[in-house]
Copies of this chain bind each other. A is one copy, B any other.
Amino acid sequence: MNKNDISVPTETEASLPESAASNAKRRQILDGAEAIFLESGYEGASMSQIACRAGVSKGTLYNHFENKAALFGAVIEDLSRGKLAPFICQSQVTAITCEEAFVQLAERFITTLVQPGPQRLYRIVVSEAPHFPDLADTFWRHGFGRTVNTLAKWIEHWIEQGAIETDDPVFAAEQFMALCQTRIVQRKRFELPVDSSPEHVRWVARRIGHAFMAIYKPGSQTAEG
């Protein structure tokens, strides 16, 4: 494993095969449901639309999932696991210096987060979190939280290199991700007009990398309580 590879091994899914045909239908339903839920939100989506988009009958939905809420839960888990995680984790960082490495990482994060899929997923998870207790937990474990953990380990690597200094790499990772949501990601979330060109993304990423280094480069933590 390359020292710069921050990818995370995909969890070995138990994935008892049950029946190939059944799994195919389940996949078909999940695909349709993901499309509709992300477009319309939980309440805005209707089981009829989902059945239609998935190309199955409404009854089939209920053969595979107990009800709308259960289907929604499965959709979020599937998305968090399969769509979001790969986006964020499989990053091959090719930088030489530490700061440049974080700049590249910020660039990738921002680029990923402003895409429609992750944006929509973020929206729906945040908005339904109060009504589905398990949902945000799922999203966190497979998505954001996982990224934070990966990032924290990567930061530990740089600590070993002597390029970063902190006694709380997890907090540092969270802070880095918070910084990545400055301006572009933030405004996109509100559908406000914002320049999201690669050039602007890189410009913001550079400022983030610079800021992160300013905070955590060895010697800057002295004053901290």
Contact = CB atoms under 8 A, between A and B. Distances in A.
Contacts of A128: 41
**For the complex, would chain A's binding face be called helix, strand, loop or mixed by DSSP majority?**
helix
B183 A126 contact: no
Contact of A223 (B130, B136, B171, B210): B210
A92 interface: no
Interface residues of A, number: 46
B41 A139 contact: no
B174 A182 contact: yes
Interface in A61-79: none
B129 A189 contact: yes
Interface in A166-217: 171, 174-175, 177-179, 181-183, 186, 189-192, 206-207, 210-211, 214-215
Contact of A183 (B40, B125, B174): B174
A31 interface: no
A195 to B, nearest CB: 13
A127 B127 contact: yes
B136 A191 contact: yes
A175 B179 contact: yes
19 contacts: A41-B43, A41-B127, A44-B131, A120-B130, A123-B127, A123-B129, A126-B126, A127-B127, A136-B191, A137-B190, A140-B190, A171-B182, A171-B207, A175-B207, A178-B179, A178-B182, A206-B224, A206-B225, A211-B215
Interface of A: 40-44, 120, 122-131, 133, 136-137, 139-140, 144, 171, 174-175, 177-179, 181-183, 186, 189-192, 206-207, 210-211, 214-215, 220, 223-225
